Amino acid sequence: MKVLVVGSGAREHAIAEAFQKSSKIDKVIISPGNDGIALEFETISLPEFVQIRDFVNANKIDFVFIGPEQPLAEGLTDYLQKHKIRVVGPSQKAARIESSKAFAKEIMQKSNVPTASYRSFTKHDEALKYLQNCSYPQVIKADGLAAGKGVIIVNNLEDAKDAIKEMMLDEVFGNAGNQVVIEEFMVGWETSIFAFTDGENFVSTIFSQDHKAIYDGDKGPNTGGMGAYAPIDKAVSYKEFVDQKVFTPVLKAMRDENSIFRGVLYAGLMITKDGPKVVEFNCRFGDPETQVVLPLLKTDFADVCLAILDNKIEELKLEWKDAYAVNVVAASEGYPGKYRKGDTIKISSDFESNTGAKVYYSGVKKDGASLVTSGGRVCSVTTHADNLVDTITKTYTYFSKIDFTGKTYRSDIGQKGLL
Ligand code: AMP
Ligand code: GLY
């Protein structure tokens, strides 16, 4: 079979790698991918929906896997399905579980999924009035997609006023801030989990953990994710609860809402003293969690996708390597603010990918014979080993073989798993 993966980041690189390992997939093409992914895979730029459709038809692609939220929220799945193309990824309506935080909260409320209590507002003066009578901290979220930046934790009324002014009046997140969700601040530790679902049934994966802040010890501004590890031993005991109290009711609520969710559903969880509560749902694989979860999946990933496409998730059993995976991201100096670009990336010749160490590329481009940095998150390294301590050491050993001016990274990825 031939598969087209839509997306351009390290997540899509890991998805492509999972397909490459499948005995059922002969060819993986990524659109647009990036120049790093292109060292290994065929990539092609297909910026318009119609170009994707024509490419799929002309090249007899068996199915399309959509990686990022943006094309899902724009309705790429619906468009391709209308043209009889098979797609792994939710419809535009179902993608609202990520593209509208107010919708996600409503669905959670309706289906009794544990989450922070909240109010949502479309009028600035009403939000302001509510904030004047709140206790702090509170969490203020732009309703729409804001590339992971639309969440502000405020400790007092002054900061809360600034946040809603920025979102609702100054429109720093564009339309995404026309509506805001203001929610209770939850205390606990975070973990995430994916469910593969055909809309009716689902199977959930191992838990993983992202590291969102730029500096060690979760300090500094949030990024797209600076590294991840999996599995999370202390989350295992919550798996049944999450399956029964999160995924089961939310997928039912989506069906009842006539927004059946098919694809990969991401639940970001806060493990509070009262148990797991949902921080957010995403309508797709997480980045960088995918870069640690898929390398541990023993089940053929094409079988997972076919089970989603053929409504046969009920028959799917997931098998996992008995190992840990750790992924560390190399970012450009300045990220998540304005960052350096154009620095040559050097990878030492003793970086051996046959040891299970893998480089996933995101913000890179070709300059002559070399790759140079071109984005905030540049690339990352995943390794796996029998225990977490060794995996952390192994990942950082390989990570040190990659260098560029201004290389910025966290040196504590996975440490929380050792506490
Ligand atoms: P989100 O984009 O909704 O995942 O939010 C980004 C980050 O903000 C999360 O990973 C949490 O660390 C934090 N966050 C979001 N909502 C809450 C909340 N209600 N309480 C505490 N922290 C939160
Ligand atoms: N790692 C969080 C996300 O993909 O949104």
Same domain, 297 and 234: yes
- Is residue 102 situated within a structural domain? no
- Which residue lies with its CA nearest to atom 2 of ligand 2? 286
Residue 168's domain spans which residues?
123-178
Atom 5, ligand 1: residue with shortest CA distance: 151
Beta-carbon contacts of residue 104 (< 8 Å; ≥ 6 apart): 96, 97, 98, 280, 281
Give pLDDT tens digits for 86-96. Answer: 999 999 999 99
Q: Confidence band (pLDDT; 50, 70, 90) for 169? A: confident
- Residues 327-354, mean pLDDT to the nearest whole number: 92
Verify that 203 and 304 share a domain, yes or no: yes
Residues 139 and 44 in one domain: no
346 forms bridges with which residues in the sheet?
Answer: 403
Mutate to test the pocket of ligand 1, among 113, 136, 139 (most ligand atoms within 8 A of CB): 139
Q: What angle do CA 226, 302, 51 make, to 5 degrees?
A: 80
Q: Is 188 in the pocket of ligand 1 (CB under 6 A)?
A: no
- Residue pair 182/140 in contact (Cβ under 8 Å)? The answer is yes
**43-65 burial: b if 16+ Cβ within 10 Å, else e:** beebeebeebbebbeeeebbbbb
Mean pLDDT of the chain: 95
Q: What CATH number did the domain enclosing 146 receive? A: 3.30.1490.20
pLDDT over threshold 80, residue 355: no
The CB of 183 under 6 Å from ligand 1? The reply is: yes
**The last residue of a domain, from among 263, 285, 315:** 315
Distance 151 CA to ligand 1 centre (A): 7
Greater pLDDT, 252 or 224: 252
CA 283 to CA 278: how far, in whole Å?
Answer: 14
The mean pLDDT of 203-213, rounded to a whole number, is 97
Nearest-CA residue for ligand 2 atom 4 is: 286
What confidence tens digit (pLDDT) does each residue in 233-277 have? 999 999 999 999 999 999 999 999 999 999 999 999 999 999 999
Helix, coil or strand: residue 265: strand
Q: Is the dihedral of CA 123, 124, 126, 127 positive or negative?
A: positive
Whether this model's pTM surpasses 0.85: yes
**What is the tally of structural domains in the chain?**
4
Verify that 80 and 127 share a domain, yes or no: no
